[in-house]
Structure 1
Amino acid sequence: MTTVSPETEKKLRDAMERLLAGKSKRTDGRLTKANLHIEAGVSRATMNRATEVIADWNASVGTEPAPRDAELAGLQATVTELKKSVARLREHNSDLERRNRAAVTVIAELNAQLQASRGETPIGTVTPIRDRAARRRR
């Protein structure tokens, strides 16, 4: 038997409905009794006297997933996927940068060969890079 006024019971039931729907107004939305009494705007002692409301609360919270918790899990999964995507994109970017450097080197070498075959004086000088092992042997 509820030993609270009908107005208090209505406040508690309205607060319970908002919390279960994930639409809290005064709290962080977690499904706790502390949030229930704060959301309803009544004291903890008053809430504890509303035995029928507490029984309904316990039945609801024990069987349904918390909307806020489900949203949080979804956001965490999204963050995990985005982190994986960023890692893949960084790896792809590094690969493209390596390919670009290799292409620039090949183009410079081909340009030097073309100028040499035409008997043109190169604008710049292409100096071959000596092998490190060859330098060590000296």
Structure 2
Amino acid sequence: MFTLFVAALGAATVLPFQSEVVFAALQVAGDYPAWLLVLVASVGNTLGSVVTYLMGVWFEHFRHRRWFPFTEAQLDRAQRWYNRWGLWSLLLTWAPFGDAIALAAGVLRTPWPVFVLLVAVAKTGRYIILALATAGLIG
């Protein structure tokens, strides 16, 4: 179970981890109930996104440096777009590009409770679907 937690946490950061393989292998082995696998993987993956969010918060501290890759105008435009549409993009943090969304949420200072709630819903939903698929209940 610790391996699943670490794989899920790492998969939600910039590290090249794959939690789905570990999850499916543990489920097929049958040593743990599916609900426990979903819980451990979801918590680990959500915490990994929190780490990525915090990296975004840290990265934003350098926005006035000359080498910072975005202009104030670009950040302002991104903030307006994100405030209008981007918040719901947190429901896509389960996808391969989800790390970038979590990072942007940190840079753009998404409210902490909203971030955690939407990311947890997305991550848990993914692992529920993976558990159902691995069990052969959905195609």
Q: Which has the higher contact order (CA 8 A, sep 6+)?
A: 2
- Which one has a bigger Cα radius of gyration? 1
